[in-house]
């Protein structure tokens, strides 16, 4: 082989190498494209995250199934956010919904705030809220409507398609797990740790998730309005005890009489 | 220029191109490396997320600052998770902490569960919990210890380095925002929407975040134990009314007497 031929062969080999490299560059550009997408993931968008109108029954069924996996708070949150993960994808794909198992049984079984309400409130804020005062207020109005619905309506009001038991509703008069469970036990005669009570909380999780999505759908349609205002008795108490009242020695939107003035105790 | 020389120049140009390509391949490999990291981001790890022992005072200060940005629930959560975002990075970089503004004022200003507790409980579960029963139980024990600390100790017990006012502590006897605020107002004479009460909730957020991190540090050291068990009166009530009791008509870990048997009402 003469020198020119050897040079030519070297050049061809070099070009062939270049082709391989070009292919790798193609991969690199593809990787960069995916990267720019995941760079979004690295930043996750500001609140509110994109909401797409959802089917309340699909959400209720998903919430009921999720309840049996991770209890009430996870159930309500995942019922809504899991549906968005499926229909919208990112950024819901990078959110660890399992976090909301923390709210089980009124947060870690302490029977404080009803877990379904806690999870649904978080979802409402994720989808309508934000740091700015105006965004907060809008989200808070929807959450407050949900809480009053929960206190005032006979619940659960959604029957899952494949229930384990038939469940009768009761009016909780409170957003607390402790009161909600106790009043349902009193109304139905079932024990607090019976399979029926657990089923009731599954139906309740589905009912709360369903109403939450109805409210969110109304919100994006521009038709949301408060239909469960604070009871007049609570407003009366607040007129002295809450913000701007003569005493202003408390704050609250829960039903006052469920704890105060029980039995023989009267207002002083 | 003779042919051999031209060929040589072509080859050099080709090699130079190869070098440029090699440089691009280097970028591609780097991109792939980042990509595999962000692919993780697309999946985010399962709970619990990685915890690194934190300085409780640094967390308290961050929580106090965050309180003035996004209120109590966000303050406690971001005090802890913001510190981890800075020290650990991913996956905390893809978590929208602003979500926890929802817990402000006992969730959307309804004065239900204290927001600092709600945010701290979520952080505890994110860092120690998981879907499996055993992981849940471990996380719930830490959360329950935090709740009892909050009910039983004079709080706030952390004074921020640059406070707006000096704040006296009180014992809340309850994990509810409504009761906690009302009892502090009664103990100090300040109004429920006074600047001093707002400052008090900032200190309280810092105090809750600080104790949470002390518990988390103990947990990773293997030295965590319950030091605030349920009061004996509550255990006595639960022995009849809670799981396995003769009545089993309720559930709860809150102080019973704060709502029941107030004034003249006695146990039947």
How far, in Å, CA of B194 to CA of B21, rounded?
66
Instruction: State the average pLDDT over residues A24-30.
Output: 36
Across the interface, of B96, B102, B139, the residue whose CB is closest to A121 is B102
Inform me whether the C-beta atom of residue A165 falls under 8 Å from chain B C-beta atoms. no
Mean pLDDT rounded to a whole number for chain A: 87
> What are the pLDDT digits (tens) for A164-202?
999 999 999 999 999 999 999 999 999 999 999 999 999
Q: How high is the pLDDT of residue A263?
A: 62
Task: Say what the pLDDT of residue A19 is.
Answer: 39
Give me the DSSP letters along chain B.
Answer: --HHHHHHHHHHHHHHHHHHHHHHHHHHHHHHHHHHHHHHHHH-PPSSPP-----HHHHHHHHHHHHHHHHHHHHHHHHHHHHHHHHT-TTGGG--GGGGGGGTTTTTTS--B-HHHHHHHHHHHHHH--SSHHHHHHHHHHHHHHHHHHHHS-B-----SS-SS----B--SSSBHHHHHHHHHHHH---TTSHHHHHHHHHHHHHHHHHHHHHHHHHHHT----SSPPPHHHHHHHHHHSTTSSS------S-GGGTTT-TT----
- Taking the C-alpha atoms of residue A52 and residue A88, their distance in angstroms, rounded to an integer, is 8
Is the CB of residue B120 less than 8 Å from the CB of residue B133? no
> Do residue A191 and residue B130 have CB atoms under 8 angstroms apart?
no
Q: Hey, what are B238's tokens? A: 């639960």
Q: How far is A189 from chain B (nearest CA, A)?
A: 8
Structure tokens at B46: 């399962």
pLDDT at A267: 74
Q: Which of residues 231 through 250 in chain B touch A, CB cutoff 8 A?
A: 241-244, 248-250
The length of chain B is 268
User: A109-156: per-residue pLDDT in tens?
Assistant: 999 999 999 999 999 999 999 999 999 999 999 999 999 999 999 999
Q: Which one-letter DSSP state was computed for residue A89?
A: -
Q: A24 touching B, CB under 8 A?
A: yes
Residue ranges of chain B whose pLDDT lies below 70 = 1-42, 262-265
Using pLDDT thresholds of 50, 70 and 90, give the confidence band for residue A253.
confident
Q: pLDDT tens digits for A50-78?
A: 999 999 999 999 999 999 999 999 999 99
Helices (H), chain A: 3-43, 56-87, 115-128, 133-152, 177-188, 195-221, 232-241
Which residue(s) pair with B170 in the sheet? B155
| Rounded CA separation B27/B21 (Å) | 10
Return the pLDDT at A125.
98
pTM for this predicted structure: 0.85
Inform me whether the C-beta atom of residue A187 falls under 8 Å from chain B C-beta atoms.
Answer: no
Predicted pLDDT at B3: 53
Domain boundaries, chain A: 56-229, 232-268
Query: What is the spatial distance between Cα A200 and Cα A194, in angstroms, rounded to a whole number?
Result: 10
| Nearest Cα to Cα of residue B128 among B152, B151, B107, B145 | B145
Q: Which residue of A has its CA nearest to B121?
A: A102
ipTM of the complex: 0.84
Q: Calculate helix-pair angle for A195-221, A115-128, nearest 10 degrees.
A: 20
* Bond from prior residue into B153 cis (ω within 30 degrees of 0): no
Chain B nearest CA to A161, separation (Å): 25
Q: Note the pLDDT of residue A43.
A: 81
* Distance spanning both ends of chain A, measured CA to CA: 113
Q: What does the pLDDT look like over A86-111, one tens digit per residue? A: 999 999 999 999 999 999 999 999 99
> Does A6 reach chain B within 8 Å, measured CB to CB?
no
The answer to whether A23 faces chain B, any CB pair under 8 Å, is no
Are the C-beta atoms of residues A253 and B110 closer than 8 Å to each other? yes
- Read off the DSSP letter of residue A105: T
Reduce the DSSP state of residue A176 to 3 states and report it.
strand
User: Which of A94, A129, A241, A257 best tests the B interface by mutation, with the highest count of B CBs <10 A?
Assistant: A94
Q: How far apart are the first and last CA of chain B?
A: 113
3-class secondary-structure state, position A81: helix
Tell me if chain A has a CB within 8 Å of the CB of B87: no
- Residue A98 contacts B, CB cutoff 8 Å: yes
Neighbours of B21 (CB within 10 A): 20
Per-residue pLDDT at A10 exceeds 70:
no
pLDDT of residue A102: 98
- Show contacts of B4-13: CB within 8 Å, 24+ apart: B4/A3, B4/A4, B4/A7, B7/A4, B7/A7, B7/A8, B7/A11, B8/A7, B10/A11, B11/A7, B11/A10, B11/A11, B11/A14
Contact A192, A185 (CB under 8 A): yes
The pLDDT value given to residue B257: 79
């Amino acid at each position: 082989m003469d020198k020119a031929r050897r040079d030519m062969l070297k050049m061809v080999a070099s070009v062939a190498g270049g082709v391989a490299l070009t292919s790798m560059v193609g991969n690199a550009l593809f990787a960069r494209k995916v990267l720019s997408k995941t760079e979004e993931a690295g930043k996750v968008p500001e609140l509110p995250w994109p909401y797409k109108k959802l089917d309340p029954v699909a959400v209720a069924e998903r919430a009921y199934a999720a309840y049996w996996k991770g209890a009430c708070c996870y159930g309500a949150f995942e019922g809504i956010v899991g549906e968005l993960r499926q229909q919208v994808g990112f950024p819901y794909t990078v959110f660890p919904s399992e976090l909301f198992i923390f709210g089980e049984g009124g947060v870690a079984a302490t029977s404080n705030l009803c877990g379904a309400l806690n999870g649904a409130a978080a979802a409402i804020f994720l989808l309508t809220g934000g740091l700015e005062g105006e965004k907060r207020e809008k989200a808070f109005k929807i959450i407050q409507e949900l809480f009053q619905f929960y206190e005032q309506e006979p619940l659960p009001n959604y029957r899952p398609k494949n229930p384990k038991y038939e469940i009768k509703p009761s009016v909780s008069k409170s957003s607390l797990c402790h009161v909600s469970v106790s009043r349902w036990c009193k109304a139905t005669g079932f024990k607090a740790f019976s399979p029926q009570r657990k089923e009731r909380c599954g139906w309740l999780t589905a009912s709360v998730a369903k109403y939450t999505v109805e409210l969110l759908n109304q919100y994006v349609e521009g038709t949301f309005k408060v239909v469960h205002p604070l009871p007049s008795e609570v407003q009366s108490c607040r007129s002295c005890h809450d913000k701007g009242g003569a005493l202003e020695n408390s704050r609250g939107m829960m039903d006052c009489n469920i704890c105060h003035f029980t039995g023989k105790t009267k207002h002083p």
